[in-house]
Amino acid sequence: MTTKPNPHTLFVYDARENVVLSWLRDSVSFAILCGAAWFVNTQMPPSGWINATVCILWMIWMVGKGQKRKVMKTPDEARQWLDDNFPTGAAA
C-alpha cells in the first residue's frame, strides 16, 4: 500500500451562499450577456469581430468574478478557517 504525499495547498469551498442569491447573480450575468448581444446585433451594423469581442470580454469578466472568490490556504490556515467558521465543539 502506497501513501500519498500531503498536499501543499487545500481548496476549501464555502457553500453558505443562498441558492436564490446564486440564481439571481447568474440571471443578472446572463441578462447582461443577452443585452450586449442584442445591442451589438440590432443597434449596430452586424459584425463578427464585435460579437467575438463581446464574447471574449464576457468570458474574462466571468473568470474574474470566479477568481475573486478563490482563496488558497495552507493546511494549517484551512484548519483554522474551518475552526473559526464551523466550530465542532470538540477541543483539539
- Would you call 6 helix, strand, or coil by DSSP? coil
Cell numbers describing residue 7: 498536499
pLDDT at residue 8 in the model: 66
pLDDT average per 10 residues of sequence, the chain (92 residues): 64 72 84 85 84 84 73 80 78 52
pTM beyond 0.85, yes or no: no
Residues 6+ positions from 35 with CB-CB distance below 8 Å? none
- Would you call 10 helix, strand, or coil by DSSP? strand
- Residue 40 CA to residue 76 CA, distance in Å, equals 49
Place of cell 442569491: 21
